[in-house]
Structure 1
Amino acid sequence: MNGLVVAGTASGVGKTVATLAAIRAFEDAGHSVQPAKAGPDFIDPSHHAAIAGRPSRTLDVWLEGVAGTRRNYYRGDGEVCLVEGVMGLYDGDASSTATVAEALDLPVVLVVDASAGMESVAATALGFRSYAERTGRDVDVAGIIAARAHGGRHERGIREALPDGLAYFGRIPPAEGLEIPDRHLGLHMGAEHPVDEDALADAAAHLDVGALAALAREPPRPDPREPPSRTGRRVAVARDDAFRFSYPATVERLRDRAEVVTFAPTADAELPDCDGVYLPGGYPELHADALAASPALRSLHDRAAEGLPVYGECGGLMALAESLTTAGGDTHGMAGVLPVEVTMHDRYRALDHVTLEATTDTLTAARGDRIRGHEFHYSSADVARDASFAFDVRRGTGIDGEHDGVTEYATLGTYSHVHAESGAFDDFLDSLDNQP
């Protein structure tokens, strides 16, 4: 599967809209597209999936390693893979867009905000390409998409200013229908606020699909892995508007080794019959009323107290807590499995790639193991003095700056999201096989 990276000069220049327009342009030209996202984001991929009709792959060298990033890429399904970058091309010390492009040996199309420039757009793109050359980075900046660019003289000025070796792949015209509202944690999800179809179709028509298709190339293939062993266990995975932040590769890994059944904590009457539970992240604070009244959370409390293994990440941790207080000051009772009280804030409390070291055997790691993950949350967790932690934080913030992973019974709740390539979910599944 050939691919290319749609990168930006900085956050907010229009990478997501340019990527969505490129997906639409390829689909309109008869090419099936596998979307992907550099970095650990959950929200941009939801917009990719809304346009492409298939889940977007998460490509992050910190979370997955080079081989894991390549494996995740090739688990995709399409004729061409379009990888949206994160922040600016070179930004991010753990896994920048440039790092992902290097790991996959994919060419880069740079999205440049052209709303107030012509020759300066070319100068900016040339600077990004020269930076790779001067710093020895193996990053192939092949050309640009001009964001917020008008046609006519504006477009001609940009094209004519580009030096040899930097191609012009089209423009994204300024249009209100292409704006995606945001909130804490990022943009609204794709299912909540899809981009206007007519505006996206118009933007797609201004891209040179033939030139983009000719640019795309195939990454190196990873070494094959041993097929996973089946556990014969059943895992219940929370999936509703409160719990949307799970990587496709994670659910695939669970399905590879166990039977997976989904449930909706905001709506279902009971927790399904299962041998373990995975509560991914999401927006429990937006559904606190429904969660507080949830029979499924009450049955989860009872099953967890009986020793059912339960793993909650970020939003999952919040739902497992004793209470959740919204930014407006309203307090709601949660499942009450973990000795934690969670409070929402107006500004984010942590944003980083993380490294956790297990201080004891736990659901996702053995004592002494280190696992990598990512954290991004607007809440804080007040933990009881006698609570037990499973991890020391070697990089990142965790729950209190030093620890992450509150444990109670056979339940683990962390602020860190981990990827299937970390091995954490294999440990989780193996722990289910060790249950009576």
Structure 2
Amino acid sequence: MNGLVLGGTSSGVGKTVATLAVSVALEDAGLTVQPAKAGPDFIDPSHHEQLLGRPSRTLDCWLEGEDGIRRNYHRGDGDICLVEGVMGLYDGDASSTAMVAEALGLPVVLVVDASAGMESVAATALGFERYAEAAGREVDVAGVIAQRCHGGRHENGVREALPERLTYLGRIPPSEDLEIPDRHLGLEMGEETGLTAEQLEAASEHIRVEAIRELAEPAADAPSPERRPETGARVAVASDRAFCFAYPATLERLRSRAEVVTFAPTADDELPACDGVYLPGGYPELHGDSLASSDALDELGDRAEEGLPVLGECGGLMALCEKLETTDGESHEMSGVFPAEVRMHDRYQALDHVELAAKRETLTARTGERRRGHEFHYSSLTVGRDARFAFEVVRGDGITDERDGLTEYDTLGTYAHLHPESGAFDSFLEVL
């Protein structure tokens, strides 16, 4: 499967809209697009899936390693893969867009904001292209998409200023309708956005499809995946608007080794019969009333006390605590498994790639093993004196005092989102 990486000059340049517009243009030309996202984000991939109807692949050097990135890329299926970048092309010490492009050996299309420039847009793009060589990086900046660019003289000025080695791949016209609203964890989820098919069709009209198709190249080969046996277990996975941050690769790994059933804690009356529960991250703070009255969440708390293995990540961790307090002072009872209370803040409390070292045997790691993940949350926890932790934080913030992984009974809750390439979910399955 040939592919391209859509990198940006900075955050906020319009990479998501550019990725969606190029996807529409390619699909209209009869090509099947496999979306992907550089970095650990859950929100941009939700926009890809909402538009294209297929899961977006998460590609992150820290979470997966180069071999894991290549395996995850090749699990996709399509005529062409579009990898949306994260932040600016070279930004990020643990995993940048440039690192992902290098790992896959794919060319980069640079998305440049042209709203206030013409020849300067070309100068900016040329600087990004030359920086790779100066920094000793194997990054091929091969083309440019002009974001927020008018037609006529404006477009001609950008295109004619580009050197021959930077292919002009089209423009996206300026439009307030093409701005995706922010929410405290980032952009709104794909199913909530106001972007319409008509707006994206209009944005895609000036994309040079054939030039993009010719620029795409095959990605580096992937090593063979390690075959792991089925467990015969049944895993219940929370899936609703409160718990919507699960990597497609995680669900694929669970389904490859166990039976997976989903449930909606905000709506379902009962917890499905199962051997273990996975509570992904999401927005429990936006659904406090529903979770406080959730029979399924109450039952989960009772079953956890009986020894049912439960794994909660970020939002899942929050739901396993005693109480959740929102920024407007409302308080909601949660399942009460952990002796801790959650408080939401107006500003994020942690944002980083993380590394955790297991102090004791736990659901996702043996004693001494390390797990790499990602944390991004606006909440903090006040923990009881009897709280127990499974991990020391090697990198990142964790829950408190360089510790993460609250543990009680056979339940584990962390602020870290983990990818299956870390080995965490195989460890989880093998204890069920």
TM-score between the two structures when normalised by the length of structure 2? 0.99
- 1:50–1:194 Cα contact (<8 Å) kept: no
The residue type paired with residue 353 of structure 1 is H
User: What residue in structure 2 maps to residue 41 of structure 1?
Assistant: 41
Confirm whether residue 380 of structure 1 aligns to residue 380 of structure 2.
Answer: yes
Q: CA deviation at 1:170?
A: 0.3
Once residues 225 and 172 of structure 1 are traced to their aligned partners in structure 2, the CA distance between those partners, rounded to angstroms, is 39
The residue type paired with residue 257 of structure 1 is R
CA displacement, residues 372-427 of structure 1 (integer Å, 9 cap, x when unaligned): 00000000011111110000000000001400000000000000000000000000
- 2:349–2:377 Cα contact (<8 Å) kept: yes
The aligned runs of 1:228-377 (5 Å cut-off) are: 228-377=228-377
User: What residue in structure 2 maps to residue 402 of structure 1?
Assistant: 402
Once residues 196 and 51 of structure 2 are traced to their aligned partners in structure 1, the CA distance between those partners, rounded to angstroms, is 11
In structure 1, the residue corresponding to 2:217 is in which secondary structure?
coil
User: What residue in structure 2 maps to residue 428 of structure 1?
Assistant: 428
In structure 2, the residue corresponding to 1:106 is in which secondary structure?
coil
In structure 2, the residue corresponding to 1:87 is in which secondary structure?
strand
Confirm whether residue 126 of structure 1 aligns to residue 126 of structure 2.
Answer: yes
Aligned length: 432
Once residues 396 and 90 of structure 2 are traced to their aligned partners in structure 1, the CA distance between those partners, rounded to angstroms, is 20
User: What residue in structure 1 maps to residue 140 of structure 2?
Assistant: 140
User: What residue in structure 2 maps to residue 172 of structure 1?
Assistant: 172
User: What residue in structure 1 maps to residue 98 of structure 2?
Assistant: 98
- 2:46–2:190 Cα contact (<8 Å) kept: yes
CA RMSD after TM alignment: 0.7
Confirm whether residue 25 of structure 1 aligns to residue 25 of structure 2.
Answer: yes
The residue type paired with residue 147 of structure 2 is A
Q: Which consecutive residues of structure 2, in runs of 5 or more, have no partner in the other structure?
A: none
- 2:71–2:225 Cα contact (<8 Å) kept: no
Q: CA deviation at 1:203?
A: 1.1
User: What residue in structure 1 maps to residue 2 of structure 2?
Assistant: 2
In structure 2, the residue corresponding to 1:203 is in which secondary structure?
helix
Once residues 176 and 24 of structure 2 are traced to their aligned partners in structure 1, the CA distance between those partners, rounded to angstroms, is 18
Q: CA deviation at 1:164?
A: 1.7
- 1:178–1:196 Cα contact (<8 Å) kept: no
Once residues 297 and 392 of structure 2 are traced to their aligned partners in structure 1, the CA distance between those partners, rounded to angstroms, is 28
The residue type paired with residue 231 of structure 1 is T
Q: CA deviation at 1:336?
A: 0.5
CA displacement, residues 35-69 of structure 1 (integer Å, 9 cap, x when unaligned): 00000000000000111110100000110000000
The residue type paired with residue 164 of structure 2 is D
- 1:19–1:84 Cα contact (<8 Å) kept: yes
Q: CA deviation at 1:225?
A: 2.2
TM-score between the two structures when normalised by the length of structure 1? 0.98
Once residues 226 and 246 of structure 1 are traced to their aligned partners in structure 2, the CA distance between those partners, rounded to angstroms, is 22
The residue type paired with residue 282 of structure 1 is G
The residue type paired with residue 278 of structure 2 is Y
Q: CA deviation at 1:176?
A: 2.0
The residue type paired with residue 420 of structure 1 is P
Q: CA deviation at 1:194?
A: 4.4
CA displacement, residues 292-319 of structure 1 (integer Å, 9 cap, x when unaligned): 0000001001100000000000000000
In structure 1, the residue corresponding to 2:190 is in which secondary structure?
coil
In structure 1, the residue corresponding to 2:338 is in which secondary structure?
coil
Q: CA deviation at 1:226?
A: 3.1
Once residues 43 and 286 of structure 2 are traced to their aligned partners in structure 1, the CA distance between those partners, rounded to angstroms, is 15
Once residues 87 and 371 of structure 1 are traced to their aligned partners in structure 2, the CA distance between those partners, rounded to angstroms, is 24
User: What residue in structure 2 maps to residue 419 of structure 1?
Assistant: 419
User: What residue in structure 1 maps to residue 215 of structure 2?
Assistant: 215
- 1:145–1:168 Cα contact (<8 Å) kept: yes
User: What residue in structure 2 maps to residue 149 of structure 1?
Assistant: 149
Equivalent pairs: percent with the same residue?
70
Once residues 413 and 344 of structure 1 are traced to their aligned partners in structure 2, the CA distance between those partners, rounded to angstroms, is 17
In structure 1, the residue corresponding to 2:134 is in which secondary structure?
helix
Once residues 309 and 160 of structure 1 are traced to their aligned partners in structure 2, the CA distance between those partners, rounded to angstroms, is 61
The residue type paired with residue 37 of structure 1 is K
The aligned runs of 1:182-197 (5 Å cut-off) are: 182-197=182-197
The residue type paired with residue 47 of structure 1 is H
- 1:47–1:194 Cα contact (<8 Å) kept: no
The residue type paired with residue 101 of structure 1 is A
Question: Which is worse superposed, 255-264 or 200-209?
Answer: 200-209
Once residues 252 and 381 of structure 2 are traced to their aligned partners in structure 1, the CA distance between those partners, rounded to angstroms, is 30
The residue type paired with residue 375 of structure 2 is E
In structure 2, the residue corresponding to 1:229 is in which secondary structure?
coil
Q: Which consecutive residues of structure 1, in runs of 5 or more, have no partner in the other structure?
A: none
- 1:390–1:406 Cα contact (<8 Å) kept: yes
In structure 2, the residue corresponding to 1:191 is in which secondary structure?
helix
Once residues 332 and 188 of structure 1 are traced to their aligned partners in structure 2, the CA distance between those partners, rounded to angstroms, is 24
Once residues 357 and 194 of structure 1 are traced to their aligned partners in structure 2, the CA distance between those partners, rounded to angstroms, is 42
Once residues 201 and 176 of structure 2 are traced to their aligned partners in structure 1, the CA distance between those partners, rounded to angstroms, is 13
The residue type paired with residue 58 of structure 2 is T
Q: CA deviation at 1:196?
A: 2.1
In structure 2, the residue corresponding to 1:85 is in which secondary structure?
strand
Once residues 144 and 220 of structure 2 are traced to their aligned partners in structure 1, the CA distance between those partners, rounded to angstroms, is 24
CA displacement, residues 133-192 of structure 1 (integer Å, 9 cap, x when unaligned): 111100000011000000000000001111120110000101122111111110000001
Confirm whether residue 58 of structure 1 aligns to residue 42 of structure 2.
Answer: no
Once residues 164 and 213 of structure 2 are traced to their aligned partners in structure 1, the CA distance between those partners, rounded to angstroms, is 19
Once residues 288 and 409 of structure 1 are traced to their aligned partners in structure 2, the CA distance between those partners, rounded to angstroms, is 25
The residue type paired with residue 423 of structure 2 is G
